[in-house]
Amino acid sequence: MLYRVALLYDAHRPHFSIIAISAGDSTTQVSQEVPENCQEWIGGKMAQNGLDHYVYKVGIAFNTEIFGTFRQTIVFDFGLEPVLMQRVMIDAASTEDED
C-alpha cells in the first residue's frame, strides 16, 4: 500500500506540487484527499478491498513564470525499503526559441 509521496529536490520544489492521487484496480479508482500546494502526501487509512495489488495514479503539477530547466525527484514510499523514485525534468523556454 502507498504510504507517502514526496517531492525531494528543494531547489525547484516551489514549481511542482502533488495535485491528485487515486488508488484501486485498473477499472475503479478512489480519489485520495490531497491538500492544496501539496509537497508531501501521507496516506490515511485506505480501505482494504481484498485486492492483491493496487494501481496508483499520481498527478503532479508544474508552474513557472521564468524560463529554465526544472528538475524534481518524486519518491513513492510503500512502507518498506527501498523506496521507488521517479525523476522528472521540464525545460521551460520562450515560444520564440522554437524557431
Count of domains observed in the chain: 1
CB-CB contact of 74 with 7 (8 Å):
yes
pTM summary value: 0.83
CB under 8 Å, gap of 24 or more: what pairs does 50-53 form?
Answer: 51/24, 51/25, 53/25
Predicted confidence at residue 88, as pLDDT, reads 96
**C-alpha cell, 77:** 514510499
Q: Show the domain range for 90.
A: 4-98
Per-residue pLDDT tens, the chain, 99 aa: give them: 899 999 998 888 899 999 999 988 878 888 999 999 999 999 876 655 566 678 899 999 999 999 999 999 999 999 889 999 999 999 999 887 565
Predicted confidence at residue 43, as pLDDT, reads 87
